[in-house]
Amino acid sequence: MITLQESAGSQTFSFIPRSYNNAETYTIEIVSESQNKSVYSDTTSTFTLVDYYYQYSDVFSLKQDNFYMLKISDSSGVVFKDKIFCTNQTAEAYSVNNNEYTEVSSTNEFVFYEN
C-alpha cells in the first residue's frame, strides 16, 4: 500500500512495474474508492529509475483518511496496481484513533448459572 498526504505540493511514490519499456507511453489513473470516480489521470513516457524500482512525482488532489486505487497501464495492459491511503500522520506514528480517546469501562461482574 502506498501512503500519500493531502497536500498542494508535489509527492512521490515508488513502484515496481510488471514490465517497462522506454519507448512506451504510460497512463497513471487514481480512482477514489468511496466515490468510485477518477480523481487523477496523467500520461507519461518516463519514470525515474532508482536502483531496482521506479518513482513518479506529481501533485495529487487526495483527501485525508480516504482510500484510492492506483493503476498504471501501457498499450498492452496494466503494468502496476496498488492501493493508496491518504493520511497526514507519519507512518511511524499512525493510529486509527488519532486524537480520539475511547474509554473502556467494565463492571467485572460475572454471573454463574448452576445446572
Instruction: Walk along the chain (115 residues) and give the pLDDT tens digit of each residue.
Output: 999 999 999 999 999 999 998 889 999 999 999 999 999 999 999 899 999 999 999 999 999 999 999 999 999 999 999 999 998 877 666 666 666 766 777 777 777 777 6
pLDDT of residue 113: 75
pLDDT of residue 88: 85
Which three cell numbers, joined as nine digits, stand for 2? 502506498
- CATH code: domain 2-86 is 2.60.40
Per-residue b or e along 64-85, where b marks 16 or more CB atoms closer than 10 Å to that residue's CB: eebebebbbebeeeebbeeebb
pLDDT of residue 43: 96
The alpha carbon dihedral of 40, 31, 2, 82 has a sign of: negative
pLDDT of residue 46: 86
pLDDT of residue 89: 78
Residue type, 1: M
pLDDT of residue 100: 72
